[in-house]
């Protein structure tokens, strides 16, 4: 602040008035010019895997140095949300953006408080619905006392299940960590699991981008379901169906993110673990995802799905422990529904994922001689990937190959993914189709059509029909009884 003199001329005499001149000064930044030793992740930064998760205390120091208290931190590539959480911990507001929905969901659910006891009770209800059934897929006989027990993992080599491993027989304490070959019982169980159709929903999304290009690290698998053995796919499908039965959406969301934190450990991409004296690995450990790809593993470990879910929710690096830490830190933080709410100070965090554009089909890409120099774009927006662009493929030497046109563009079909039909719940839906085009002169136009319709699941229809039939039946019975009671004259 500087005191100064401001003078001006009046008609008659010179008037002098002292004023205060404000001089804007740059905020003083105490730059970080030293090494910041990284601290270990705490439970809320550990419960869900994320690639390139940054060290929380380093990010925290940067925020304190470069954003004033009460200011706004914007992270356009927020990932697992270290910046978001460190900003909130340090009383800054935050805008967190990531186009990957699992990233935004990890951020939301790390920050959103949930009662740990309610979460534990919900977990126990899921356990009641599915544990016994799930463990039935992993039963074997104790090699010592011959009683029925549940094994912890199986080892697959060259497409064949070769061993089972268990940590401790509950009856005699027997432990098998290697060379425990399959018995006839084990092989028959596996055969029967593999011959049965999985009736519950599981994802079949293909490992291709919407334009038909294969995922960079796709390797031999074609779709997500192929990343799992049938046994684990069945156990996971049962588990998800049991989670879906939870009536409260917020508890369901927490259980689902718990599921997502362990599902990769139940895939075929887990390397075989052997006892190690130099690391904490045991013969039963999940080694994690060792390759940065959808690794095509002929030798892998098949983990027991219920074990993994239990430790994801209730284990020492699980969700409940994470919530105990994060509930205390973020209990008063307010989520913004719009960016304006955040900017005006009515909320503390705005999480943003961007438009969920599912597909864009270009018409007349070659700009041929019909409608010269013009372009056409159809856009379908459907959150459930109900419509999907599928690359057109052809078998060449036993391998399926994506078809291209003479310009090298991938040929695609717009298909309806009927598997997603089961996702449609009772209610009113709106479909929107927009066509954008230009007339050659550069003036872009668009036509939008909307269509509203209702979805009534067949189960609900069936219940209604049964109710109507029962009502008709009761009505007839009642009127027959009335007729019998009427006195004859």
Interacting residue ranges for ligand SAM, rule: CB under 6 A: 50, 52-54, 76-77, 79-80, 82, 97-100, 103
User: Rounded to whole angstroms, how far apart are CA atoms 371 and 364?
Assistant: 9
Cβ contacts of residue 181 below 8 Å, gap of 6+? 162, 163
Task: Return the closest-CA partner of residue 376 out of 427, 291, 436.
Answer: 436
Please identify, using beta-carbon distances, which residue of 81 and 258 lies nearer to ligand SAM.
Answer: 81
From the list ligand SAM, Zn ion, none, pick the one residue 465 interacts with, judged by a Cβ distance below 5 to 8 Å according to partner type.
Answer: none
From the list Zn ion, ligand SAM, none, pick the one residue 253 interacts with, judged by a Cβ distance below 5 to 8 Å according to partner type.
Answer: none
14's torsion region: left (phi>0), alpha (psi -120 to 50) or beta?
Answer: beta
Closest-CB residue for ligand SAM?
A: 79
From the list Zn ion, ligand SAM, none, pick the one residue 54 interacts with, judged by a Cβ distance below 5 to 8 Å according to partner type.
Answer: ligand SAM
Please identify, using beta-carbon distances, which residue of 175 and 390 lies nearer to Zn ion.
Answer: 175
Please identify, using beta-carbon distances, which residue of 174 and 211 lies nearer to Zn ion.
Answer: 174
Please identify, using beta-carbon distances, which residue of 145 and 367 lies nearer to Zn ion.
Answer: 145
444 pairs with which residues across the strands? 438
Rule CB under 5 A: choose which of 46, 102, 161, 172 binds Zn ion.
172
Stretch that binds Zn ion, among 83-91, 165-173, 453-461, 478-486 (CB under 5 A): 165-173
Output the CA torsion sign for 96, 99, 104, 107: negative
User: Rounded to whole angstroms, how far apart are CA atoms 327 and 389?
Assistant: 41
Please identify, using beta-carbon distances, which residue of 62 and 120 lies nearer to ligand SAM.
Answer: 62
CB of 285 to Zn ion, least distance (A): 22
Chain mean position to CA 157: 30
Contact (Cβ atoms closer than 8 angstroms) between residue 97 and residue 75: yes
From the list ligand SAM, Zn ion, none, pick the one residue 38 interacts with, judged by a Cβ distance below 5 to 8 Å according to partner type.
Answer: none
Please identify, using beta-carbon distances, which residue of 353 and 393 lies nearer to ligand SAM.
Answer: 353
299, two tokens: 């030798």
Chain mean position to CA 149: 33
Rule CB under 5 A: choose which of 171, 363, 426, 473 binds Zn ion.
171
Helices (H), 2-77: 56-66
User: Rounded to whole angstroms, how far apart are CA atoms 427 and 156?
Assistant: 45
- Residue 144 binds to Zn ion (criterion: CB under 5 A): yes
User: Rounded to whole angstroms, how far apart are CA atoms 139 and 178?
Assistant: 17
Rule CB under 5 A: choose which of 59, 94, 111, 142 binds Zn ion.
142
Stretch that binds Zn ion, among 170-178, 191-199, 348-356, 437-445 (CB under 5 A): 170-178
Please identify, using beta-carbon distances, which residue of 91 and 144 lies nearer to Zn ion.
Answer: 144
CB of 148 to Zn ion, least distance (A): 10
Cβ contacts of residue 233 below 8 Å, gap of 6+? 198, 202, 225
Contact (Cβ atoms closer than 8 angstroms) between residue 141 and residue 185: yes
Output the CA torsion sign for 399, 403, 404, 406: positive
Binding mask 99-118 toward Zn ion (x if CB under 5 A, else -) reads --------------------
User: Rounded to whole angstroms, how far apart are CA atoms 363 and 382?
Assistant: 20
Please identify, using beta-carbon distances, which residue of 144 and 439 lies nearer to Zn ion.
Answer: 144
From the list Zn ion, ligand SAM, none, pick the one residue 258 interacts with, judged by a Cβ distance below 5 to 8 Å according to partner type.
Answer: none
The residues that touch Zn ion, with contacts defined as CB under 5 A, are: 142, 144-145, 169, 171-172, 174
């Amino acid at each position: 602040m500087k005191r100064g003199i401001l003078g001006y001329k009046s008609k008659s005499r010179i008037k002098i008035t002292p004023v205060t001149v404000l001089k804007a000064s740059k905020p003083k930044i105490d730059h970080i010019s030293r090494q910041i030793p990284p601290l270990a992740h705490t439970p809320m930064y550990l419960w869900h895997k994320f690639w390139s998760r940054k060290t929380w205390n380093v990010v925290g120091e940067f925020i304190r140095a470069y954003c004033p208290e009460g200011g706004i931190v914007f992270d356009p590539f927020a990932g697992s949300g270290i910046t978001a959480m460190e900003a909130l911990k340090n009383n800054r507001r935050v805008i967190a953006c990531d186009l990957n929905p699992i990233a935004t969901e990890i951020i939301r659910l790390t920050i959103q408080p949930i009662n740990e006891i309610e979460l534990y009770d919900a977990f126990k209800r899921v356990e009641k619905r599915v544990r016994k059934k799930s463990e039935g897929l992993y039963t074997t006989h104790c090699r010592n006392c011959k009683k029925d027990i549940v094994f912890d993992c199986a080892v697959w080599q060259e497409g064949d299940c070769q061993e089972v491993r268990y940590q401790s027989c509950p009856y005699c304490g027997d432990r098998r960590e290697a060379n425990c070959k399959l018995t006839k019982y084990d092989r028959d169980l596996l055969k029967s699991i593999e011959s049965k159709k999985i009736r519950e929903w599981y994802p079949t999304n293909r490992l291709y981008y919407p334009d038909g290009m294969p995922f960079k690290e796709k390797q031999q698998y074609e779709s997500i379901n192929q990343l799992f053995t049938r046994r684990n796919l069945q156990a996971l499908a049962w588990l998800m169906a049991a989670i879906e039965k939870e009536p409260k959406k917020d508890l369901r969301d927490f259980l689902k993110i718990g599921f997502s934190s362990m599902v990769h450990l139940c895939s075929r991409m887990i390397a075989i673990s052997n006892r190690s004296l130099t690391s904490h690995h045991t013969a039963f450990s999940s080694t994690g995802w060792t390759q940065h790809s959808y690794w095509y593993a002929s030798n892998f470990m098949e983990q027991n799905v219920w074990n993994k879910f239990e430790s994801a929710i209730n284990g020492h690096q699980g969700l409940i422990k994470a919530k105990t830490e994060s509930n205390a830190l973020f209990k008063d933080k307010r989520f913004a529904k719009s960016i304006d709410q955040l900017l005006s100070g009515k909320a503390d965090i705005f999480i943003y994922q961007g438009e969920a554009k599912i597909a864009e089909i270009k018409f007349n890409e070659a700009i041929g001689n019909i409608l010269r120099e013009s372009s056409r774009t159809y856009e379908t927006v459907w959150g459930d990937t109900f419509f999907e662009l599928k690359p057109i493929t052809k078998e060449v030497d036993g391998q399926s190959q994506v078809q291209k046109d003479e310009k090298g563009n991938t040929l695609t079909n717009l298909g309806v993914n009927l598997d997603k039909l089961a996702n449609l719940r009772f209610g009113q839906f709106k479909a929107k189709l927009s066509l954008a085009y230009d007339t050659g002169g550069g003036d872009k136009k668009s036509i939008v059509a909307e269509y509203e319709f209702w979805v009534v699941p067949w189960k609900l229809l069936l219940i209604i029909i049964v109710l109507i039939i029962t009502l008709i039946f009761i009505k007839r019975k009642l009127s027959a009884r009335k007729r019998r009671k009427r006195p004859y004259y």
